[in-house]
Amino acid sequence: MYIEIEKNYSENTVTSYEYDLQLFLTFLTDHGCSTCLMRLPRPKYVALSYIY
């Protein structure tokens, strides 16, 4: 996993992130929201930050 190997995050941190993401995905699903990242709106400043 990138954050564990490249970023050297502890196993506990990675486990906590995984748990938080599962809770968030459950929340989105329960509220009829898409979990497809390609469907999420992107603020204009995020798109412009890739140019520089």
Report the alpha-carbon distance of residue 26 to residue 28 in Å, rounded: 5
User: Cα 25 vs. chain centroid, distance in angstroms?
Assistant: 10
Q: What is the pLDDT of residue 1?
A: 73
5-52, pLDDT tens digit by residue? 889 999 999 999 999 999 999 999 999 988 887 876 776 665 555 554
Report the alpha-carbon distance of residue 5 to residue 20 in Å, rounded: 20
Q: What is the pLDDT of residue 9?
A: 93
Report the alpha-carbon distance of residue 39 to residue 18 in Å, rounded: 21
Q: What is the pLDDT of residue 37?
A: 78
Report the alpha-carbon distance of residue 9 to residue 1 in Å, rounded: 10
Task: Tell me the H-state helices in the chain.
Answer: 2-5, 11-30, 44-49
38-49, pLDDT tens digit by residue? 876 776 665 555
